[in-house]
Amino acid sequence: MKLAVEVNRDNFEQEVLKSKEPVVVDFWGPQCKPCLALMPAVEELEKDYSGRLKVAKLNAAENRMLCAKLRVMSLPTFLFYKGGVEIKRLVGEDITKNDLIAAINAVLA
């Protein structure tokens, strides 16, 4: 069962900015080892928070203009949106599942 929504420049506004529920956008790349290492944890969190949070995945390699517009300069990056507004950002290869849980809980609080 695939829960994450694939987003790109064509559907970012609809899926993220106009979402009724909070959204975490996972910016990843096929060559990014830390991104790939975090994927199982992200997929687990999708299931754990299903119905309360939308998880969106954005392939940075295929969406360079959107990444530049959102000031995403390195991977992995996670942007947290609520009501169409970015309220939190995690960046760096040392992001852990616990960091993601803490950020999600703060967004949902």
What does the alpha-carbon distance between residue 53 and residue 48 come to, in Å, rounded to a whole number? 9
Catalytic residue from among 35, 58, 70, 104: 35
List b or e across 14-30, with b for residues whose CB sees 16 or more CB atoms inside 10 angstroms.
ebbeebeebbbbbbbbe
35 is catalytic: yes
Average pLDDT in the 8-31 region? 96
> Does the annotation count 67 as an active-site position?
no
- Per-residue confidence (pLDDT) for residue 4, from 0 to 100: 81
User: Could you give all domains of the chain from N- to C-terminal order, each with its CATH number?
Assistant: 5-20+37-108 (3.40.30.10)
Helix (H) or strand (E) holding 33: helix 33-48
Conformational region of residue 54, where left means phi above 0, alpha means psi within -120 to 50, and beta covers everything else: beta
The 10s digit of each residue's pLDDT in 5-19 is 999 999 999 999 999
Helix (H, G, I), strand (E, B) or coil at 5: strand
At 56-95, the pLDDT tens digits run: 999 999 999 999 999 999 999 999 999 999 999 999 999 9
pTM for the whole structure: 0.94
Question: What average pLDDT does the chain have?
Answer: 95
